[in-house]
Amino acid sequence: MDAETARRELTEERRRLTELGEWSAEHRPEPPVEQEGAMGQHPGDYGSEVEESMERQGLTQETERQVAQIDEALGRLDDGSWGRCVVCGRDIDDERLEARPQADRCREHQEELERSRR
């Protein structure tokens, strides 16, 4: 994958993720005003709301993480280091870059990172 194509794809994905994050923030429901108990909402409903809130928060955090990775890749495009592994400096294969233009590690070092996280 060439740098121009990568920049175009990364920029488009960043725009899409940013719009998703904005939409999610705009459609976040207000917390319930009622108190729990006999006069308030059912405890099961409260649990569902907490779960939904945690899912939205997780989505927001994941979206922010992905945008940060894209910004880093755009920075590597700017400084000429895009397409090379940040660990060993070898070229990242085209197949990997086409699938994931924000990749910053060769397959070997990405697999090593993933094994260490388990």
CATH number at residue 27: 1.20.120.910
Task: Give the model confidence (pLDDT) of 49-61 as tens digits.
Answer: 655 555 556 577 8
- The angle at the Cα of 53, spanning 52 to 58, to the nearest 5 degrees, equals 95
2 or 39: whose pLDDT is higher?
2
Res. 74: pLDDT tops 90: yes
Task: Give the model confidence (pLDDT) of 78-87 as tens digits.
Answer: 999 999 999 9
Burial class (CB in 10 A: 0-12, 13-18, 19+), 84: middle
Q: Is the pTM of this model over 0.95?
A: no
Q: Mark residue 93 as left, alpha or beta (left: phi above 0; alpha: psi -120 to 50; beta: remaining).
A: beta
What local confidence, expressed as pLDDT, does residue 20 receive?
84
Could you tell me if 84 and 90 are in contact, meaning their C-beta atoms sit under 8 angstroms apart?
yes
56 lies in which domain range?
3-117
Give the integer Cα–Cα distance in Å for 10 and 67: 9
**Number of domains into which the chain is organized:** 1
